[in-house]
Amino acid sequence: MVTEAPLLTPRTVGEALTLLRARADLNRDDLAREADVATGTLSRYERDKTRKPDMAVIRRLVNHLAEVTGDDARTLWREIGDLMDRQQASSRYVRAQVRSRQRRRKASD
């Protein structure tokens, strides 16, 4: 069985979008306009400043970037999905750790 080499090596969805945008040789305003996304929204996504991105927006961005770069959209989707899963799992772990510390502090007061 032959497996495809990953197209991306980022740690977050924002890094992936930024990398793809650079590979497509687009600035943020151009990509936002062409994918029908607000520039501020794209900026927040690229900086990972949103906890749960809108999947319709991510889909438009990834599909447009795949079209421009010639990458396989399904492969990009799989990689972006994996990154989103990892980020959400990490966020849940951090929130659980914070709640645990808060409970311990409250119990010791």
The confidence score (pLDDT) of residue 53 equals: 83
The confidence score (pLDDT) of residue 3 equals: 42
Contact by Cβ (8 Å): 80, 69: no
Which two structure tokens, joined as six digits, stand for 6?
């990953």
In the chain, the largest separation of any two C-alpha atoms, in whole Å, equals 59
Structure confidence by residue, pLDDT tens digits, 39-60: 999 999 999 998 778 889 999 9
In a domain, 26, yes or no: yes
The confidence score (pLDDT) of residue 15 equals: 92
In a domain, 4, yes or no: no
Residue 90 belongs to domain spanning:
13-108
The confidence score (pLDDT) of residue 5 equals: 46
In a domain, 93, yes or no: yes
Q: Determine if the pTM surpasses 0.95.
A: no
How buried is 35 (Cβ within 10 angstroms: 0-12 exposed, 13-18 middle, 19+ buried)?
buried
Q: Give the domain CATH number at 55.
A: 1.10.260.40
In a domain, 99, yes or no: yes
**What is the number of domains present in the chain?**
1
Measured CA distances, 83 to 11, 43, 47, 89, 101 (Å): 7, 18, 14, 10, 27
Which two structure tokens, joined as six digits, stand for 104?
């311990």
Structure confidence by residue, pLDDT tens digits, 76-98: 888 888 888 887 777 777 778 88
In this predicted structure, the answer to whether residue 2 has a pLDDT above a threshold of 80 is: no
